[in-house]
Chains A and B, each alone.
Chain A
Amino acid sequence: MVVQSTAEAITYPAVGAELDIEGVSHAFDIDGATLPVLDNVNLAIAPGEFVALLGPSGCGKSTLLRLVAGLEKPRSGSLREDEVRISGPHPSRVVVFQDPTLFPWRSVWDNVALGLEAQGILKTQRHRVDAVIELVGLSSFRNAYPHQLSGGMAQRVALARALVNDPKILVLDEPLGKLDSLTRIAMQAELVALWQRKGFTTLLVTHDVEEALVLANRVIVLSDRPARIKADIAIARPYPRHRGDPYLADLRKQILGLLGLEATW
């Protein structure tokens, strides 16, 4: 495993995949009416990049992630992973949803093992499950059931369940949204460390501007529904980042303005 120095966030290990979103539009039919949700979204993400998606609630962020995951097909446009068109779900693109959605009938270990079991490689790869549970610090809870976990622990299990597959693209849909602020800050740090260590491409949806600025090296601001890309902001700051960094504070003001929230600053 390659441990990167903090300043080195611009060169990436070869684990991450490239993600191309090209002219993607999507809509839902509700009661006979068509609800446009994504409007010609174009986004090219380099291997190993950490991209944060910001946008008003209900604008279509989760929908975009579902398209990336291959859980749905876009009405028009195309998505490609390493130049290969995405036509369905694949364990190289794993999603961590806002709710941990652990399987309540499975213990922590069995939940984490889900992906390997589904792919039929669990028998020879059991050590990967142990290792990733260790990584998220839940070794003493490996036999616990989900209802015995706190919210933060459950979300860590969900993260471990994704990481055990060694994804090339990690898709995160407000994974820390429901956690208390202390747990959230701790998990943000863990996330950055993991990303730096593993080098996967990360696509993170968040409603927390500060979170985006602390974690990502690129922030995409989306418009109201139907979502269009309003701004694409590179954040060239080394990790670990500090919340009080005046550069980030400035960006935060700028982004809040893009989201129509200057008044709250």
Chain B
Amino acid sequence: MSTYSVSDTTAAAAPRAALTFSHLSGSYGVGLAASLAWLAFGLSCLYWPDLGDWSRTGSLGIGAIVIAAFILFGTLSVDYLGSAGQALRKRAPWLLAFGAFVTLWEVATAKFAWLPLPFFPPPQSILEVYTDDLPKLLDSVFASIKLQLGGYIIGATVGFVTGVSIGWSQKIGYWVHPVLRFIGPLPATAWLPIAFFTFPSSWSASTFLIALATGFPVTVLTWSGVASVSSAYYDVARTLGAKPSFLVLKVAIPAALPHVFVGLFMGLGSSFAVLVVAEMIGVKAGLGWYLQWAQGWAAYANMYAALIVMSLLCSGAITLLFRTRDRLLVWQKGVVKW
């Protein structure tokens, strides 16, 4: 699980005191370059005057220089920082690339306007959103999380139970199968207009749609997981005295769990899409709504700010699901890493 690269071993083997050329170009070089990139970002903020009226340019520049100082400090004392030092070293190339990118972005927007201005807001205007529009943004984040979590949990639970039932019982499968086939492939968003009419509130309608988008892949994959469990496992359990409930709970479900997680991942992806659309169209809260609202005011910086938050949330949710899976499925060899 640990990444153990050639540069790590050479750095550990070399005497610490001597700062040789290979040190500079090897493990320290990238860190120093990353520090320089962030310094350049900070200076570019402070050196040239802004072409527009943004209030956070100064703080951003100073912040960038502080980051540069941290990277410099971390790089030079990497051997004494333990795992934090290792983490920094591992991410140094990314810090360099990102520092260079924001510098370029800063120069291309706020300073020389190489990119058309209202559509490409400079970093300081996005920072401004996070500082000045924080309450509204936070409200939106909480609204989105609440809606998504409720719908996802309902959908995943119903999908799981349905999948196990039809994988196990042919009688239930007989009835659920055609329904699943007919309704399942329909994109959940197609239900939007009807759902908003028929449900008592736009919130319940959206929860239903998110649950639907989650439930379909979870059902299908749980079902195929249960159906594909080798009969040899059942034979073994039955000769050892297992009753049907044991066969379901202790044989079928654990054996199907890897499939279930594939369904949960797919369901998460498609439910995000439904969440955003539902918020844009019906629910007057959440990040989707915030995006819509920002577009209405041509507040492009707000849109970028919301997009960044949204992607952090989505990737956080996926990471959480991966962690859960890795815990539950430790017995699997070589599970895919996120």
Contact = CB atoms under 8 A, between A and B. Distances in A.
B238 A71 contact: yes
B237 interface: yes
Q: What DSSP secondary structure best describes chain B's contact surface? A: helix
Interface string A67-109: 0011100000000000000000111011101010101111100
B241 A97 contact: no
Contacts of B251: 103
A71 B333 contact: no
A104 B232 contact: no
Contact of B331 (A93, A105, A115, A165): A105
B242 interface: yes
Contacts of A119: 240-241
A117 B239 contact: no
A161 interface: yes
Interface centre among A97, A105, A119 (most CB of B within 10 A): A105
A99 B331 contact: no
B34 to A, nearest CB: 41
B240 A114 contact: yes
Contacts, number: 70
Given A97-B236, A103-B254, A118 B246 contact: yes
Interface string A139-170: 00000011100000000000001000100000
A117 B249 CA distance: 12
Contact of A115 (B235, B241, B243): B241
Chain A interface main SS type: loop
Contacts of B101: none
Contacts of A89: 238-239, 241
Contact of A95 (B233, B235, B242, B243): B235
Given A106-B331, A147-B331, A97 B232 contact: yes
A165 B239 CA distance: 10
Which of the four size classes fits the interface of chain B? Answer: 20 to 34
A153 to B, nearest CB: 16
Nearest to A100: B236
Nearest to B334: A147
Interface string B159-172: 00000000000000
A91 B232 contact: no
A114 B237 contact: yes
B69 interface: no
A101 B236 contact: yes
Interface in A119-153: 119, 145-147
Contacts of A105: 254-255, 257, 329, 331
Contacts of A93: 239
A99 B236 CA distance: 11
B250 interface: yes
A99 B243 CA distance: 23
Interface in B264-292: none
A91 B239 contact: yes
Nearest to A161: B240
Contacts of B333: 147
A93 B241 CA distance: 10
24 contacts: A69-B235, A69-B239, A70-B239, A89-B238, A89-B239, A90-B239, A90-B241, A94-B240, A99-B232, A101-B232, A103-B255, A105-B255, A105-B257, A105-B329, A107-B331, A114-B236, A115-B240, A115-B241, A117-B250, A118-B246, A145-B330, A146-B331, A147-B333, A161-B236
Given A91-B239, A103-B236, 5 more contacts: A95-B235, A95-B236, A99-B232, A104-B332, A145-B331
Interface of B: 230, 232-233, 235-243, 246, 250-251, 254-255, 257, 329-333
Kindly list the 4 A-B residue pairs having the minimum CB-CB distance in the complex, ordered from nearest: A115-B240, A91-B241, A118-B242, A89-B238
